[in-house]
Structures are given as structure tokens and as C-alpha cells.
């Protein structure tokens, strides 16, 4: 993909599809790396799926025979000398602590590393499309840490849906302000 | 022109030939797989320098007639086996993507 932000959107959608009530998206930037971590409490993957998850011909969709989200993320990470790992516990293995974690490491000084892109837009799009899922977004750079927790928003909003125009607009402003200051 | 017809000239060499009578109706060039996924059309000969297993999935998704690996790029044995198993035609060409497109322009 042209931007990592689009990968973030794609992978976070997997958490929603896995019926997660909370999807954590973390971006951590060091002087040499960008680390993307996705952690959810969805239904998780069975051993069989874990084995085939980076096979582009495997899919969770029934309408097409390939699912490209994780294979592309893996390829893009490896193209920079980095890597991607997937750990998951299926609901049948552990009825309480189930879910999936995807971690991708990019070396940002590698010439093939794609730019991060518009993260604010990605987060807003996710919340807009899935107002009933909770998202915890954190972006840690060497200078600062940007955070958005929809659980906190929900408490304040007292029943106002998160995909309300004003709420989405506020979320974008809230994130943008954190990036500027 | 079919994939077999393309091979006759000798400039393009088959790495995985499953459906030689597949008609080539167009050409697409690209290495950013997510981009190719949305842009390549059914029946295209897709020219790329990428050679990982994901290209086979992109070819399957877009239903392109064949993948042409330019710059003399080849596939590993394992990926060649997968290409055959998934029914994907893959050819290799020694010149650049531009040279491959120019050759195709003359042949199609």
C-alpha cells in the first residue's frame, strides 16, 4: 500500500470482523523503527488459521479466495528488513483471554519503507465505520505520546453514538492538536 | 494473442505455464501489489519485478492472463510449485519492464 495508515485501517478491520469489543492500535516510533501493534479481544484464530494466516490464498472472507491484509503487511515490513509476527488465542482454547496480536516492525531508514501517511484520518474512519467497537489508539514518538481512548469518550458522551458528525469532527481536532503541540 | 503465442518469439520464457491458450487482452505494469490489485484488469499481462508469493494471489484476484517478471527475475522452486497449483501463468523476460511492454506492444 502507498501508506502505512492504509495498512492500519486494513488490519484493524480484522479485529472488528473478529467481533472484538476493544481493538488497541499502537504506533511506536524510535530513531530507526516504526512498530505497529494491533491487539484485540476478538474470537482469535485456531491453530489451523494461525498456520495459514500469512498465506495470501487464505482468507476469512468467503467471497474471494485470497485475503491480502496480513500478507501485504508482512511483505512491506520485510522489504525494510523488518518482520511481522502474529500471536492469537482462539475462544475455544481460552473462553476468557482470547484475541489476536499482530506486530509489525519497519526500519524507517530503508529506502523501501513506505510513509506513515494520514493516521488521524485512519483512526476517524475506523471509529466512524464501527461506532460500537472501542478503540485505544496510541502513537508514541521520541518527543511525545498521542492517545485516544473511545471508552473515555463514551463515558463523557452518555449515549451519543461515536459516529455522530460532531463527535468525529471533535476526534480529528483532538488528535491533530496532540500532534501539533 | 495467447500466452503460448507470446512464448513462441523466444524473448519471454515460461516459469509456470498452466493455461497457455489464455488470451492476453491488455498490459499492466506495477510493483506496488495493493495498487495492482485495484488497477490490473482481467486478461492483462502484468509486468512486475516482484517475485514473492503474494504476486500469485494478486494475479488470481485480478484474473490477469499471465505475470511477466522483468529484469530476468525468476521464482523460487516453492513459489513455482504454488503458481502451478493455483493455475497462474508466470513468464520471465530479461529486459526492463519498459522493454517488455514495448515487445508486447509489437505482438498484441
**ipTM of this complex > 0.95?**
no
pLDDT tens digit sequence for A112-150: 899 999 999 999 999 999 999 999 999 999 999 999 999
In total, how many domains does chain A have?
A: 1
The pLDDT of residue A65 is 47
> In chain A, how many H helices and how many E strands?
6, 6
Computed over every residue of chain A, the mean pLDDT equals: 92
Residue among A55, A64, A72 whose CB faces B33 most closely: A72
A14-48 per-position pLDDT tens digit: 999 999 999 999 999 999 999 999 999 999 999 88
Whether A64 contacts A102, CB under 8 Å: no
The pLDDT score that the predictor gives to residue A68 is 83
Query: Would you place residue B21 in the very low, low, confident or very high pLDDT band (cuts 50, 70, 90)?
Result: very high
CATH of domain B3-107: 3.40.1390.20
- Distance between CA atoms of residues B62 and A90, nearest Å: 32
Alpha-carbon span B97 to B100, nearest angstrom: 5
- Average pLDDT for residues B57-77, to the nearest whole number? 96
3-state SS of A17-55 is: HCCCCEEEEEEEECCCEEEEEEEECCCCCCHHHHHHCCC
Residue-level pLDDT at A54: 86
Per-residue confidence band for A50, with pLDDT thresholds at 50, 70 and 90: confident
Chain A residues whose C-beta is within 8 A of a chain B C-beta are 1-2, 6, 55-57, 64-66, 68, 71-72, 75
CB nearest B57 (choices: A1, A6, A56): A56
The pLDDT of residue A61: 53
Biggest CA pair distance of chain A: 47
CB distance B37–A64 less than 8 Å? no
Residue A59 is predicted with a pLDDT of: 60
CATH code of the domain covering residue A163: 3.30.565.10
Q: How far apart are CA A122 and CA A162, in angstroms?
A: 15
B32 neighbourhood in chain A, CB within 8 Å:
1-2
Predicted confidence (pLDDT) at residue B12 exceeds the cutoff of 90: yes
pLDDT, one tens digit per residue, over A89-114 is 999 999 999 999 999 999 999 998 99
Q: What is the mean pLDDT of chain B?
A: 96
* B-chain residues near A68 (CB < 8 A): 33-34, 37, 54, 57-58, 61
- The pLDDT assigned to A1 comes to 84
* Among the ranges given (A64-78, A128-142, B67-81), the one the predictor scored with the smallest mean pLDDT: A64-78
Q: Which domain holds residue A109?
A: 4-180
> How would you write B13-40 as a 3-class SS string?
EEEECCCCCCECCEEEECCCHHHHHHHC
Amino acid at each position: 500500500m502507498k501508506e502505512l495508515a492504509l495498512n492500519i485501517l486494513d488490519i484493524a478491520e480484522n479485529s472488528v470482523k473478529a467481533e472484538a469489543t476493544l481493538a488497541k492500535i499502537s504506533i511506536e516510533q524510535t530513531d530507526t523503527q516504526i512498530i505497529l501493534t494491533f491487539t484485540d479481544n476478538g474470537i482469535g484464530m485456531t491453530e489451523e488459521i494461525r498456520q495459514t494466516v500469512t498465506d495470501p490464498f487464505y482468507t476469512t472472507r468467503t467471497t474471494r479466495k485470497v485475503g491480502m491484509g496480513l500478507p501485504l503487511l508482512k511483505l512491506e515490513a520485510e522489504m525494510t528488513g523488518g518482520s511481522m509476527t502474529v500471536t492469537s488465542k482462539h475462544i475455544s482454547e481460552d473462553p476468557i483471554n482470547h484475541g489476536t496480536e499482530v506486530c509489525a516492525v519497519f526500519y524507517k531508514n530503508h529506502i523501501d519503507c513506505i510513509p506513515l501517511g494520514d493516521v488521524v484520518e485512519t483512526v476517524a474512519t475506523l471509529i466512524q465505520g464501527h461506532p460500537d467497537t472501542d478503540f485505544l489508539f496510541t502513537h508514541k514518538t521520541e518527543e511525545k505520546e498521542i492517545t485516544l481512548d473511545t471508552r473515555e469518550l463514551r463515558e463523557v458522551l452518555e449515549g451519543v453514538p461515536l459516529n455522530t458528525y460532531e463527535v468525529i469532527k471533535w476526534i480529528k481536532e483532538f488528535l491533530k492538536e496532540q500532534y501539533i503541540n | 494473442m495467447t500466452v503460448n503465442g507470446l512464448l513462441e518469439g523466444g524473448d519471454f520464457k515460461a516459469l509456470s505455464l498452466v493455461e497457455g491458450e489464455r488470451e492476453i487482452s491488455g498490459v499492466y505494469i506495477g510493483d506496488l501489489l495493493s495498487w495492482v490489485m485495484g488497477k490490473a484488469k482481467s486478461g492483462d499481462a502484468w509486468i512486475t519485478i516482484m517475485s514473492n508469493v503474494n504476486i500469485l494471489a494478486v494475479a488470481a484476484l485480478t484474473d490477469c492472463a499471465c505475470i511477466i517478471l522483468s529484469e530476468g527475475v525468476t521464482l523460487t522452486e516453492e513459489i513455482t510449485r504454488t503458481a502451478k497449483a493455483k493455475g497462474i501463468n508466470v513468464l520471465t523476460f530479461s529486459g526492463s519492464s519498459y522493454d517488455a511492454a514495448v515487445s508486447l506492444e509489437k505482438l498484441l
